[in-house]
Structure 1
């Protein structure tokens, strides 16, 4: 297709979008909007019929909502499951489907009442918003016709353009119904109950309470009446199934939100593949116990040991192990979390990461948990999936009845049962505002990140596994700011050799354009996160222990093989950087860099050539910031690890619920250290990037840019959020806010300073665990 034709199609799509916008603003309701939209599209692209189907999550069916060309009396009457018909196939695939003779397709399902038998061709494209299909746009022609790739792309473009507008019209209808519907309260309920708890994941939601029973499974029968071989066979089948299920979960979460979030489930694989864990279960089976009881007993034995140690990091591991154990038992026929097909606000005591990953987000609009009922891994997933979450006290949960109307605000922790007209009106506005906010985020995916006065900021993605380039680029990432190589190691049951590592690194590099940077961090593991084969001993405080470079420089074989693998994978590709973690003194970075140069020289001696690989270090330990000028001659760039830095500076374990509210990267002490490093690096002409939750915090990114950092790395799905925030402030204003923040006395004061500039800030709640 020529440039002129492409331009003509873009203009055509823009005209269509403008016309749909005009239809919506002049229509009286969503039904009229859909009907007029279908007619307009049929006429504009010259087809014989155009229909719009919307997916009803409450009933799990597709419903014909509007048509031009089919029998209009069948609107609302034609209904099908997503597994039925060509329309269902489009929804299932979230991709276009076309057939020149639709009756010949194996998925074709006839609906004679529509009088569609007079049509031959079918082209359906999904209506998608926020990466979820919520409907299907279908066109037919009477004569058999194969639509060209350009025509398919054109209809897809039209569908993309109208999706947000159609979705908004449907939302308005739902909100009008919600706010006009009288809220009848049983006499026993009394007046509306307003509660304020802990905000966990931002966003607002309205719906009916969906109570789920959970979570401590009943003790399985202990003594087996079957042979040991049969019980062992059941155990092995449960292991194989759960490993397979975990791999599918990783793939699903990677597709929905990203590899960083999916890496959570590699901890589950570690438990499943841990030989000691398996041996303890097998020992119980060999003693004549059932496979189910043996799993239950072993898991609870571990959990008891974790609880006795009172280590919050082990509590997180305990939640992972509990998730794994319950999924093993589920395979053996023991139900854990009640399955629901209802739509609304989920009310449940506790949710584990696997529970969150399996939620049907077309049904579950929000979650209310018992205080302390959400572990940080699950909170991360909820935020990435844009599910509002609030934690309330146990006695407050007990007052929520199944099916009762409820409103929750994940920004403030507010929840109300039987909300009155004032609350409903307020939530209607909040939901519209939220919808508009997400709608605007889509506009920022494919444009460079700039402040309002045009200053470019580089937004990079954190990556946990290779093969994620399509996803990170689709969010508008300008490269990889942090490749966490340890996730690959943790997914294995032995150390990978040089060739195996090299392939993983090369696959990532080949999937990223050469003009985009890729930063590899060397293996960063300790007793808190290590695979069994790594041989770590238990430590009282693994975050301050024998880990990362400290171990690698004493046990050089693993580090040397990784450096050789990185060199082998890189070859002559430009824009590759190497990052060493947990550096506390100059001697460590000198030794690490010397080892890298040794590897390079050895490989060059064999005739290989390499592009220049810049070497940097993670600034995440306070001592490194305090003497940062001493490091400058030894490195090519600086990378700040804000998560660990905040923990170390504030002496706060962010996974400890008793003190987690003290964890805030916008504490002036943290900002002072970052400011010192940025200033020193600038004097030595060394670039600085920052990785961590602070980079994607809508408040934090503004302060960081004001401090002089122009490269931020974060989980890919949050890149549009940061682009939008930074587009609303000039560099000069960001610098002014940063100066005030440095003079502040608390993180609360810092955030209040930012709110004066951004009154609608989501603030810390977006990242709170």
Structure 2
């Protein structure tokens, strides 16, 4: 019988395959106590297990950093620091000596007590998310050490020879680190969120994933046919014939579309009448820069740096910033642009940088550039790394969430102070670093004519611009219907920003989700955009639409939209136009 479950879609795509169910019980502890004369032997076993675990953590960090970049490698650095903490190990050894616990039972008792305390944390939700991640790190450490003590194999994916869909209560860092898209075609988990380790890694690997589904493992057995729809956030167990046929057709269409689009990779991104429209990539992890090149992007239009702050109990160092940015620049080469957005922590994100108590209305509170201007040491550390790495390529800095001219000028003043510090220290840096600002709140859009005289480029963040303009949180089901990219108010603000940029002859880009939807490509080109930044996998699809456009037609289309009164009218009109321009893209 077909069973459907809904969760959080964290990585798009469709996968169909046999279920590979991860054991949720962990490693069994066969005995709790030992005889008094066995205690020294238990301590020796314990020390050996910790020694091997520490070595493996160091090796994992090096290996995963090489594969996926330093941000993900830091997960294992955090685990390694716990394993190598002599006080932590001595606490476990003390239980063996005083209570005559077996090494396994002592490990479990100590770690489970840590986890219990973490789970009892009652702080704000964005703090609890980080605490939950820390608890899972401890559980991962427990499983690794118990496996070493008992000689068990905790690497189930290393033996896979056929493609599977992984299903689990949750996936720990040590489990997801060895995922290969060749054998793990998708995964779904009962717990987890959009910023969890597994979600972020799924995006980096470009495999479909759904998390936070709730209890479903009791409904599935290993080998059952399952479908993961990473676009809609759906897991289907034992699909019936009609569902399976429909999703097979959808998967085939996706592959066919991908093949057609991939053939455009090396062709220019220009309209049918020869007007260039530059396509750049949005990335969160350094290794995603390679995905940009594979899809034919001309550079990186948005490098989000928040992940550098996750999985850490302290803020990243200047050198950690530098190494992450350098990896992207080296991948893209010295001429392709790399736009690095400074720290943009929001109400839905957590890091050690925020600290303090929760806010009653965090989306309108101390976030993004406001936080950076409050925590100057944190901000200067990132700016120093940016200025240094800019000597290696075409690096640009972009300030997010600017709402007033004063805020932007404060950021520029701080940047100049950091330049002076580097100059005094004799450290090489790029003096004429290109500076831009995000336009993502209505006040910035309304003051775009003034802001344009202060910067070298604009980047329109449509996600927040829509949210703040329409006062509608897209994650709130009660008002999500109001969140609409085609609302005339939003379109008029975008047009105002583009006109201000053109007047001052500065570049203007769109880097929100709107730029990655084929439906909106003709409209954005018609509004005057000549640069779009999208997730790497969207580049070929958007290029295909652009190559079918003529600028004069796009302008007429945009003018008609600007004169419409409702989002429904605009949306319906755009769908009709896309069917005419490129019928299969409108499906």
| Global fold match (TM > 0.5) | yes
Q: Deviations over 1:11-38 (max 9, x none)?
A: xxxxxxxxxxxxxxxxxxxxxxxxxxxx
Residues 703 and 315 (structure 1 numbering): CA distance in 2 closer, same or farther, change over 3 Å?
Answer: farther
What residue number does 1:164 align with? none
| Contact 1:583–1:619 under 8 Å retained in 2 | yes
Report the 3-state secondary structure (helix = DSSP H, G, I; strand = E; otherwise coil) of the residue aligned with 2:502: helix
CA contact (8 A) 1:349 1:373 kept: no
**TM-score, normalisation: structure 2:** 0.74
TM-score, normalising length: structure 1: 0.59
1:501-580 to 2 correspondence within 5 Å? 509=329, 512-524=332-344, 532=352, 536-540=355-359, 544-560=364-380, 562-570=382-390, 575-580=394-399
Map 1:444-455 → 2, pairs under 5 A: 444-455=264-275
Moved more, 504-513 or 546-555: 504-513
Q: Does 1:245 align with 2:36?
A: no
* Residue 529 (structure 2) pairs with residue 709 (structure 1): yes
Is 2:27–2:143's contact at 8 Å kept on the other side of the alignment? Answer: no
SS at 1:590's partner residue?
Answer: helix
2:455 corresponds to:
635
Larger mean Cα displacement after TM superposition, 373-382 or 626-635: 373-382
Residues 406 and 639 of structure 1: CA distance in aligned 2, closer, same or farther (over 3 Å): closer
Pair 1:526–1:203, CA change in 2 (3 A): closer
The residue number in structure 2 matching 1:140 is none
Report the Cα distance in structure 2 between the residues aligned to 1:274 and 1:667, rounded to whole angstroms: 49
Is the counterpart of residue 212 in structure 1 residue 21 in structure 2? yes
Does the 8 Å contact 2:5/2:213 carry over to 1?
A: no
Select 1:361's aligned residue among 170, 181, 195: 181
2:92 is the counterpart of 1:285 = yes
Contact 1:518–1:576 under 8 Å retained in 2: yes
| 1:292 and 1:332 in contact (8 A); partners too | no
Residue of structure 2 aligned with 1:302, choices 103, 118, 136: 118
Pairwise mapping of residues 79-118 of structure 1 onto structure 2 (< 5 A)? Answer: none
How far is 1:475 from its partner? 3.1
Matches within 5 A, 1:387-402: 387-389=207-209, 402=222
**1:701-741 alpha-carbon deviations (Å, 9 max, x no partner):** 45433433222234434433332343344445555665566
* Deviation sequence 1:275-303 (CA, Å, 0-9, x none): 89979956853762722332233234323
Q: How far 1:522 sits from its partner (Å)?
A: 3.5
The 8 Å contact of residues 527 and 537 in structure 1, kept in 2 or not, is answered as no
What displacement does 1:455 show?
Answer: 2.6
Rounded to whole Å, the distance in 2 between the matches of 1:510 and 1:407 is: 38
SS across alignment from 1:536: coil
**Does the aligned pair in 2 maintain the 1:267–1:320 contact within 8 Å?**
no
Counterpart position of 1:272 = 79
Match of 2:99 in 1: none
1:346-495 correspondence to structure 2 within 5 Å: 346=165, 348=167, 350-352=169-171, 354=173, 355=175, 358-367=178-187, 375-377=194-196, 378-379=198-199, 381-382=201-202, 385-389=205-209, 402-405=222-225, 413=234, 415=236, 417=238, 419-420=240-241, 426-464=246-284, 472-485=292-305, 487=307
Question: Residues 472-517 of structure 1: CA distance to partner in whole angstroms, max 9, x if unpaired?
Answer: 4343222232344555576888777778866765675566444432
Kindly state the Cα deviation for residue 553 of structure 1 after the two structures are TM-superposed: 3.5
Q: Could you tell me whether the CA contact under 8 Å between 2:390 and 2:429 is conserved in 1?
A: no
In structure 1, what is the equivalent of residue 438 of structure 2? 618
1:588 corresponds to which of 396, 407, 412:
407
Contact between 1:212 and 1:338, CA under 8 Å: does it hold in 2?
Answer: no
Distance 2:543 2:119 in 1: 42
Q: Does 1:690 align with 2:510?
A: yes
- Is this contact kept in 1: 2:50–2:83, CA < 8 A? no
CA distance in 2, matches of 1:274, 1:644: 37
Cα distance in 2 between the residues matched to 1:234 and 1:683: 66
**Residues 492 and 301 (structure 1), Cα distance of their counterparts in 2 relative to 1, 3 Å cut:** closer
The Cα of 1:423 is off from its aligned counterpart by 5.3
What's the CA shift for 1:624? Answer: 2.1
Q: Does the 8 Å contact 1:285/1:294 carry over to 2?
A: yes
SS of 2:141's equivalent in the other structure is helix
Distance 1:722 1:477 in 2: 11
**Contact 1:202–1:762 (Cα < 8 Å) also in 2:** no
Q: How far is 1:615 from its partner?
A: 2.0
Distance 2:83 2:528 in 1: 49
Q: Counterparts of 1:380 and 1:475 in 2: how far apart (Å)?
A: 20
- Compare CA radii of gyration and give the structure with the larger one: 1
Instruction: Quote the residue 1:331 is aligned against.
Output: 144
SS of residue in 2 equivalent to 1:537? coil
Larger RCO, structures 1/2 (Cα 8 Å, 6+ apart): 2
For 2:396, what is the secondary structure of its paired residue? strand
Helix, strand or coil: the match of 1:348?
strand
In the aligned structure 2, how far is the partner of 1:398 from the partner of 1:483? 40
Q: Distance in 2 between matches of 1:609 and 1:222?
A: 60
Aligned to 1:168: none
Compared with structure 1, are the counterparts of its residues 244 and 556 closer, same or farther at alpha carbon in structure 2 (3 Å cutoff)? same
How far off its partner does 1:635 sit? Answer: 1.9
The question of whether the paired residues in 2 share the 8 Å contact of 1:352 and 1:374 is answered with: no
SS at match of 1:333: helix
RMSD: 4.9
Q: Shift in Å at residue 536 of structure 1?
A: 3.4
List runs of 5+ in structure 1 lacking aligned partners: 1-188, 764-769
Cα 1:605–1:670 shift into 2, 3 Å: same
SS of corresponding position for 1:473: helix
Contact 2:440 2:464 in 1 (8 A): yes
Q: Secondary structure at the match of 1:327?
A: helix
